[in-house]
Structure 1
Amino acid sequence: MLKTPAYAVASAKAPLAPYTIERREPGPHDVLIEILYCGVCHSDIHQARDEWGGSIFPMVPGHEIVGRVAQIGREVQKWQVGDTVGVGCFVDSCRQCEACRAGEEQYCERGMSLTYNGYEQDGKTPTYGGYSTRITVDENYVVRIPPGLPLERAAPLLCAGITTYSPLRRFGVTAGSRVAVVGLGGLGHVGVKLAKALGATVTVLSHSPGKRSAALELGADDFVATGDPEAFTAHAGRFDLILDTVSAQHDYNAYLNLLRRDGTMVLVGMPEPAPLSAAPLIVRRRRLTGSLIGGIRELQEMLDFCADHGVVADVEVIPIDKINEAYDRVVRSEVRYRFVIDLASLSGAV
């Protein structure tokens, strides 16, 4: 086993602190990755603070991992030492169910092995994430970071990128599509960039009118302040697709009425339950659906698309010892738009 410096949280009320974990030596099909950068996702905070329930402690968060291959197993075919690679939200799946065979491993019927706060496929070995200096992963659950993508700005694409790219592609966003993005945070700002790169006309919907200039700077064509009592009436029936990235409770019915006939609203945030009326769905044959990240094949497709179109996250790079401050700032919405940890700051620690 490989003793590895990390930052972990010991309980829901504890701060993140230096910790040592053990990574397995690479097996025949494994790669050992030296982690260079790891993004800070809001879901890291939810799980570290056990806000969703079921958290496994001690926990090493982080599922937006970019690094370099340091060692490969004897039968590895896909990677060589020195390759620049990424690891996203999961590190394994059953590989046998219908979803896995379809390349939709995120919907594995047995359950994917989350990059952290989960278990390997044996159901016993806990997984630890990217707030660490290295990680060992099966070669089939690693993706290539294309040349030209700044590594620190590519890291959030491993979650925020695929979370927004997958539904945009799945529900047919192309040139001329009228897309609304609800929320302008870590997910929303990448969603705006991706929708524009796909050729859509993009509107940001936000309760914060002060975000108008930021939305337009990111490439949005329009901005609607949803706190305006006339907003939902003035824009009724306007959009083909609404990408809803908000995790705070809000009125789905009001947003559904902004869709045209046969329009689709996709939830990628996870708010508390909200009332839903059948009427907004029935009267225009609208759809309300959800989407969960993407499979390995689609993750690679997304990264290649981002490289081709110059899509990267807007980030603030921090050393690992600023992580607790960063968590508090995320909760206060004081980052534009993603923190990324420089893991060089952890090398030699612990």
Structure 2
Amino acid sequence: MKSYGYAAPSGDQPLAPFSFERRDPLATDVAIDILYCGVCHSDLHTARAEWGGTLYPCCPGHEIVGRVSAVGGQVTRFREGDLVGVGCMVDSCRTCPSCVAGEEQYCTGTGMVGTYNGPDKVLGGHTFGGYSKHIVVDQDFVLSIGHDASQLAAVAPLLCAGITTYSPLRHWKVGPGQKVGVVGLGGLGHMGVKLAAAMGAEVWVFTTSPGKAEDAARLGATGVVLSKDKADMKAHMGTFDFILNTVAASINLDPYVSALKRDGTMVLVGVPAEPHPSPSVGNLIFGRRSIAGSLIGGIAETQEMLDFCRDHNIVSDVEIIPIDQIEAAYERMIKGDVKYRFSIDMASLADPAA
């Protein structure tokens, strides 16, 4: 079926109106009219070919919420009119150990199929994402949205920023009685603070800016640690059970490792363009500390996250924009000029053929 959206023709050209084909729903497919799509930093990196491997035209967007418009004949979990979400992936091999365990993001068969810039197994070519009017996805990769319809713009970023921070917090069993640090207070960091606080942890934000203390407190943090202040860092040395590092820049990890207790873990979820300097092995050995990584979350865990956020009334802090402001939004993201996520109102997307 015909659809339309915004896509980048190449890495050095801005996103522009774009018409393309979506498949008609197959037996297990769910067709969705997109209402809002969050804007992730990955969208910018991919559209501008900053990570390499971008397939053009590139229609980004993997923080999708919308309403079901049609379902295939074998669909059992959704029906027309349901509010649903689609995150970072739309398929996987489904048979490898990771997929069987419900960790499709770590698929070792075909690899997970990205919501955009992945192989389109039905139409050929590559997948197009949520900066568009419609999407068709197999029911096994569609999520139920339980939030109120008035919150949908702020729910959209949960499909990436939410699960990216929720998954490591859950995997490392963050909860009451623990002191948790969040490095960076941006699109990912602000969700990490909200979620860790809702899980009952005492949350501190590592930041270079004293001016973020008030916002950190509003989001649920106990306080901030000024990462450029050696005395402040020293005061918190060896006190953290867990640190979630959301920064996507190359930084010295040693001060954060030193902030961990014995057996503490720092998990990296930001991907810097250049590698972090190699951390001190001694810092790890003399405390049995760990540095780990985490990638989004599986479909079941993403549904768990959405339900947790519904039950705790958690959404992302968003600024709603029309689709024709996407390039301006990208430039503001680069400058850190958004609190804390952009969400595109797809009602602003006009059919280019009209």
Fold shared, TM-score > 0.5 on shorter chain? yes
Q: Cα distance, 1:148 vs. partner?
A: 2.9
Q: Distance in 2 between matches of 1:17 and 1:208?
A: 36
Aligned to 1:255: 256
Deviations 1:251-296 (A, max 9, x none): 1111100000000000000122122221111000001000000000
Q: Which amino acid aligns with 2:6?
A: Y
Q: Cα distance, 1:5 vs. partner?
A: 1.3
Aligned to 1:197: 198
For structure 1, which segment, 50-59 or 296-305, has the greater mean C-alpha deviation from structure 2 after superposition?
A: 50-59
Contact 1:93–1:121 at 8 Å: present in 2 too? no
Q: Cα distance, 1:111 vs. partner?
A: 0.4
Aligned CA distance change for structure 1 residues 124 and 277 (closer, same or farther; 3 Å):
farther
Aligned to 2:50: 51
Q: 2:324 aligns with which of 321, 324, 349?
A: 321
Contact 1:94–1:121 at 8 Å: present in 2 too? no
Q: Distance in 2 between matches of 1:336 and 1:244?
A: 18
Aligned to 1:273: 275
Contact 1:92–1:120 at 8 Å: present in 2 too? no
Contact 1:232–1:257 at 8 Å: present in 2 too? no
Q: Cα distance, 1:124 vs. partner?
A: 4.5
Aligned CA distance change for structure 1 residues 204 and 175 (closer, same or farther; 3 Å):
same
Q: Which amino acid aligns with 2:342?
A: F
Q: Distance in 2 between matches of 1:261 and 1:123?
A: 52
Q: Cα distance, 1:120 vs. partner?
A: 3.0
Q: Which amino acid aligns with 2:344?
A: I
Q: Which amino acid aligns with 1:302?
A: M
Q: Which amino acid aligns with 1:35?
A: I
Percent pairwise identity: 56
Aligned to 2:114: 114
Deviations 1:192-242 (A, max 9, x none): 000000000000001122211111111110101111132322211010000
Aligned to 2:343: 340
Q: Give the 5 Å matches for 1:14-163.
A: 14-109=13-108, 110-121=110-121, 124-148=124-148, 150-163=151-164
Q: Distance in 2 between matches of 1:349 and 1:133?
A: 11
| TM-score between the two structures when normalised by the length of structure 1 | 0.98
SS of residue paired to 2:230:
coil
Q: Which amino acid aligns with 1:308?
A: D
Contact 2:23–2:122 at 8 Å: present in 1 too? no
The runs of 5 or more residues in structure 1 that have no matched partner are none
SS of residue paired to 2:283:
helix
Q: Cα distance, 1:28 vs. partner?
A: 0.6
Q: Which amino acid aligns with 2:245?
A: D
Q: Distance in 2 between matches of 1:348 and 1:47?
A: 24
Contact 1:160–1:186 at 8 Å: present in 2 too? yes
| TM-score between the two structures when normalised by the length of structure 2 | 0.97
Aligned to 1:302: 305
Aligned to 2:179: 178
Q: Cα distance, 1:349 vs. partner?
A: 3.8
Contact 1:4–1:134 at 8 Å: present in 2 too? yes
Q: Cα distance, 1:53 vs. partner?
A: 1.0
Q: Give the 5 Å matches for 1:227-242.
A: 227-242=228-243
Q: Distance in 1 between matches of 2:123 and 2:247?
A: 32
Q: Distance in 1 between matches of 2:160 and 2:265?
A: 22
Q: Distance in 2 between matches of 1:263 and 1:200?
A: 14
Q: Which amino acid aligns with 2:142?
A: V
Q: Which amino acid aligns with 1:343?
A: M
Q: Cα distance, 1:121 vs. partner?
A: 4.6
Q: Which amino acid aligns with 2:78?
A: W
Q: Which amino acid aligns with 1:146?
A: G
Q: Distance in 1 between matches of 2:146 and 2:120?
A: 28
For structure 1, which segment, 218-227 or 150-159, has the greater mean C-alpha deviation from structure 2 after superposition?
A: 218-227
Contact 1:113–1:121 at 8 Å: present in 2 too? no
Q: Distance in 1 between matches of 2:103 and 2:75?
A: 22
Contact 2:120–2:127 at 8 Å: present in 1 too? yes
**Residue 315 (structure 2) pairs with residue 290 (structure 1):** no
The runs of 5 or more residues in structure 2 that have no matched partner are none
Q: Cα distance, 1:176 vs. partner?
A: 1.5
